[in-house]
Chain A
């Protein structure tokens, strides 16, 4: 079955430090990849997406992600985090040949930025 794995459920980090949130997916077919962010008491907001082309994708709020087909990964990075980046981050994958509704989500990674 197709699945998305976010290896870390929680990531604590100090302000201005770099961060990487990991995401792996299980598939050998073509995929579209997304990262969403959820702030407390809010819905999900798209950070960035990979559809095709350059494997390095830049998103909002200084985040970027790199698609690695051989490792079936799509890790999210930010070189210097802020307190306001504290939120939960979800990786999502849309598979060709998958069901309508399209997106399979990981369990999420809670990023906690400390001063």
Chain B
């Protein structure tokens, strides 16, 4: 039990569909993150929310739209995706995100959503 849950665990969608990924953390943390994990590539940070405010967007295409209604919930809305967007999407949380890097706060990860775009 990592304290971070993600639903659904698996998702297959067509390029014209709209779907959402959900993440919930039960750890009392204030920062939440979305990562993309593709085969043979390092983990890619997509978005960071710190105290519900988006503080990082790593040049992610607009077909990915995050939403953080409170410190415990994080969504990733998906629309008109491409096949190359197929990957494992991981959510994580931590005590807080540092404003200048160099954070000692451990990130806790959810099990991920395996997304396949057809």
Interface residues of A (CB under 8 A from B): 4, 30-32, 34, 36, 41-46, 49, 51, 90, 94-108
Count how many pairs of residues, one from A and one from B, have CB atoms less than 8 Å apart in the complex: 83
**Cβ A96 vs Cβ B101 within 8 A:** yes
**Cβ B111 vs Cβ A43 within 8 A:** yes
**Cβ A102 vs Cβ B98 within 8 A:** yes
Closest Cβ neighbor of B55 among chain A residues? A100
Main secondary structure of the interface of B (DSSP, over half): loop
CB-CB < 8 A to B42: which residues of A? 4, 104-108
Query: In the complex, A43→B97 CA distance in Å?
Result: 20
Of residues 30 to 76 in B, which have CB atoms within 8 Å of A's CB atoms?
Answer: 33, 40-43, 45, 48, 50, 55-56, 58
**Cβ A103 vs Cβ B45 within 8 A:** yes
**Cβ B101 vs Cβ A100 within 8 A:** yes
Given the known interface contacts A101-B48, A103-B45, A107-B40, the answer about A42 and B102 at a Cβ–Cβ threshold of 8 Å is: no
**Cβ A98 vs Cβ B109 within 8 A:** no
Among A41, A90, A102, the residue within 8 A (CB) of B102 is A102
Beyond A95-B101, A102-B107, 19 extra complex contacts between A and B, CB < 8 Å = A30-B102, A31-B102, A32-B104, A36-B109, A41-B111, A43-B4, A44-B107, A44-B109, A46-B108, A51-B104, A100-B48, A100-B50, A100-B55, A100-B56, A100-B97, A100-B98, A100-B101, A101-B48, A107-B40
CB-CB < 8 A to A4: which residues of B? 42
CB-CB < 8 A to B109: which residues of A? 36, 43-45
CB-CB < 8 A to B107: which residues of A? 44, 46, 102-103
Query: In the complex, A4→B41 CA distance in Å?
Result: 12
- Shortest distance in angstroms between A48's beta carbon and chain B's nearest beta carbon? 10
- Shortest distance in angstroms between A3's beta carbon and chain B's nearest beta carbon? 9
CB-CB < 8 A to A34: which residues of B? 106
Closest Cβ neighbor of A94 among chain B residues? B103
CB-CB < 8 A to B102: which residues of A? 30-32, 94-98, 102
- Shortest distance in angstroms between B42's beta carbon and chain A's nearest beta carbon? 5
